[in-house]
């Protein structure tokens, strides 16, 4: 499940199962607003992530997570002309309190997109009603499982819908404080320390040796 639930891939192949694209005009509007605000941005298409005005610190932070391509022409004109399908777009700001204030200032986008925070440095925009919670429901339908048979593990606000939708919602040790009350379980370890293995060992396979 990729792009906060916007796309599903089968690892074998890989094979794209489904893709929910974001309206190009909306992406353009969000992009231009980001330019006016002087923000760095990630622009995700179906198969590529493009970086705009990213600092070296941001590039280093994403090392091993994303390989950025140069945005052709410095804007979205060439991408849109090529027929690229947009998955999501996000703003970058390491000042998280400022980012949270920015979301309030961009309330007009709440009506036309699914907005969320991640990594305490990103404000993400997805197509309407596309989030990890709806994505988990769709995945269950695809695989023939019930939601109460699932466990979801996360740390950031873009994981919240998934944590609330799952049968067992798990926050890692360093989960955002505002999310802790919505988690059924909290691990003792962070993701970097092996929280996923801990969660599986404690709440899925407690008798496994």
Structure tokens at 118: 């991640």
Structure tokens at 134: 């709806």
Tally DSSP H helices, then E strands, for the chain: 8, 11
Measured between alpha carbons, how far is 116 from 204 in angstroms, rounded to an integer?
A: 28
Which pLDDT score is estimated for 109? Answer: 96
DSSP of 138-173: HHHHHHT--GGG-EEEE-SGGGHHHHHHSSEEEE-T
Nearest to 91 by CA among 77, 105, 81, 72: 105
Other beta carbons within 10 angstroms of residue 42's beta carbon come to 20
Residue 12 main-chain phi, psi, to 5 deg: -65, 120
Structure tokens at 5: 């639930």
Q: Pick out the chain residues at pLDDT < 50.
A: 209
Peptide bond into 127 cis (omega under 30): no
At 192 the three-state DSSP class reads helix
pTM: 0.85
Measured between alpha carbons, how far is 73 from 67 in angstroms, rounded to an integer?
A: 18
Residues 6+ apart with CB under 8 A from 81: none
Which pLDDT score is estimated for 137? Answer: 94
Residue-wise pLDDT for 113-126, tens only, equals 999 999 999 999 99
Residue-wise pLDDT for 31-47, tens only, equals 999 999 999 999 999 98
Measured between alpha carbons, how far is 59 from 52 in angstroms, rounded to an integer?
A: 11
Which pLDDT score is estimated for 208? Answer: 57
Q: How many residues does the chain have?
A: 209
**Residue that is written with structure tokens 């404690």 in the block:** 202
Measured between alpha carbons, how far is 110 from 151 in angstroms, rounded to an integer?
A: 28
């Amino acid at each position: 499940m990729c792009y906060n639930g916007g796309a599903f891939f089968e690892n074998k192949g890989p094979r794209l199962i489904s893709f929910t694209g974001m309206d190009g005009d909306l992406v353009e509007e969000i992009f231009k607003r980001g330019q006016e605000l002087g923000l760095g941005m990630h622009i995700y298409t179906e198969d590529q992530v493009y970086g705009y005005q990213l600092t070296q610190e941001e590039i280093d932070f994403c090392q091993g997570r994303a390989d950025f391509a140069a945005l052709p022409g410095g804007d979205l004109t060439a991408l849109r002309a090529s027929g690229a399908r947009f998955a999501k777009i996000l703003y970058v700001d390491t000042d998280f309190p400022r980012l949270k204030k920015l979301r309030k200032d961009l309330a007009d986008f709440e009506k036309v997109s699914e907005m969320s925070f991640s990594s305490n440095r990103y404000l993400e925009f997805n197509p309407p009603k596309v989030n990890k919670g709806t994505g988990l429901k769709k995945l269950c339908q695809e695989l023939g499982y019930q939601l109460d048979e699932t466990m979801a593990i996360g740390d950031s606000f873009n994981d919240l819908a998934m944590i609330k939708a799952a049968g067992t919602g798990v926050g890692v040790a360093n989960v955002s404080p505002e999310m802790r009350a919505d988690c059924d379980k909290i691990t003792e370890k962070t993701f970097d320390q092996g929280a996923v293995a801990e969660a599986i060992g404690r709440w899925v396979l407690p008798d496994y040796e």
